[in-house]
Amino acid sequence: MTTVAAYAAPAAKAPLERTTIERRAVREFDVLIDIKFAGICHSDIHQAREGWGEAIFPMVPGHEIAGVVSEVGPGVTKFAVGERVGVGCMVDSCRECDNCKAGLEQHCTGTVGTYNAIGKDGEPTYGGYSTHVVVDENFVVRIPDGLPLDVAAPLLCAGITTYSPLKQWGAGPGKKVAVIGLGGLGHTAVKIAHALGAEVTVLSQSLRKKEDGLKLGADHYYATSDPKTFEELAGSLDLIVSTVSAPLEFGAYLSLLRTGGALVNVGAPEEPVTLPLFSLIGGNKILAGSAIGGIAETQEMLDFCAEHRIGAEIELIAASEINEAYERVLASDVRYRFVIDAATI
């Protein structure tokens, strides 16, 4: 065991504070990572404040981890000391079920989250708001040299969370894709959808970020607070990806889809939502969800982002600013992802 510095929430809704945690000794197939940067995801806030239900405390959040390998176990074959690597939302799975065999580890019933979970050793997992992490090599991905580590860190959640549904639902040339919300997830969705060749529309509450959206690759930008938006875009979109964590009026958004179109949710509101089923039945439309992506797809996403020079738009902060950053995320006052400089932990 090794003692390392970290920032943790000691209890639900309590401010995060500097502390120390124990990391396990490097085992045969483990990789020890010197964390350089860790992104702040809205889901960190949901979990640290028990917005999604009962959680494990003390909690060290963080599942957007970028760093450098500093030690490997004797059985490790995929990575070497000095390589640039990342860790996303999971650090283990059963590895035997149909989902695991299909590269869909995120849907394994035995998936172990990077934090706020219990590992196979019976100990709680702690996330990336720390100086080091030990992870099995099968749940580590390589960050290509073309991606700076700070802007790559958010791709380990925001990137794969949006890349996966865009790929699955066929975003590409000739397809009209809309992204609901231009935040941490939404801005990466716009970049990726544009790089895939789709015609991209941003649907945001206001036009406040319109200039940003167009610079990021959107072709169109509409305010959902304006009823004319829903009249003008009715029946015109092939795919809508919702990145917001607020409940939507699904009937209104489903009306924007063409026959057979899909609305895919990656944002997860804390509140239940209502769904008028006739908005699905009329037009043979699809309402779906998507959860991050498997390890192989996460590597594919990183390679794609490196090829297209896609990184997150970030605001780099010191660890002492985490609590302020949480409040600013809730106030939508970040463009577009806070990233913690782990050297300040």
- Res. 50: pLDDT tops 90: yes
| Close Cβ partners of 309 (under 8 Å, ≥ 6 residues apart) | 146
Give the pLDDT confidence score for residue 247 in this predicted structure: 84
- pLDDT confidence tier of residue 18, bands split at 50, 70 and 90: very high
Please give the average per-residue pLDDT across 129-150, as a whole number: 97
Give the pLDDT confidence score for residue 68 in this predicted structure: 98
pLDDT tens across 177-217, in order? 999 999 999 999 999 999 999 999 999 999 999 999 999 99
Q: What is the pTM of this model?
A: 0.94
Tell me if 36 sits within 8 A of 342, measured CB to CB: yes
Do the bridges between strand 337-341 and strand 30-39 make them parallel or antiparallel, or are there none, so unpaired?
antiparallel
pLDDT tens across 94-139, in order? 999 999 999 999 999 999 999 999 999 999 999 999 999 999 999 9
> Quick one: CA torsion of 263, 269, 275, 279, rounded to 10 degrees?
-20
The span from the CA of 125 to the CA of 139, in Å, is: 14
CATH 3.40.50.720: which residues of the chain?
159-289
Query: Alpha helices, DSSP H only, in the chain?
Result: 42-48, 98-101, 149-152, 158-168, 184-196, 210-216, 227-232, 250-254, 278-281, 295-307, 322-330
Give the pLDDT confidence score for residue 269 in this predicted structure: 80
pLDDT tens across 289-318, in order? 999 999 999 999 999 999 999 999 999 999
CATH 3.90.180.10: which residues of the chain?
2-157+311-344
Percent of the chain with pLDDT over 70: 100
Give the pLDDT confidence score for residue 273 in this predicted structure: 84
Give the pLDDT confidence score for residue 61 in this predicted structure: 98
Q: Report residue 6 as tokens.
A: 């970290």
Q: Which segment of 16-25, 84-93, 274-283 scores lowest on mean pLDDT?
A: 274-283
Give the pLDDT confidence score for residue 312 in this predicted structure: 97
The domain defined by 159-289 folds into Rossmann fold (3.40.50)
Q: Which CATH number fits domain 2-157+311-344: 3.90.25.10, 3.50.50.60, 3.90.180.10, 3.90.1170.40?
A: 3.90.180.10
Give the pLDDT confidence score for residue 272 in this predicted structure: 84
Give the pLDDT confidence score for residue 301 in this predicted structure: 98
**Arithmetic mean of pLDDT over the chain:** 96
pLDDT tens across 216-245, in order? 999 999 999 999 999 999 999 999 999 998
Give the pLDDT confidence score for residue 245 in this predicted structure: 83
| Close Cβ partners of 327 (under 8 Å, ≥ 6 residues apart) | none
- Res. 1: pLDDT tops 90: no
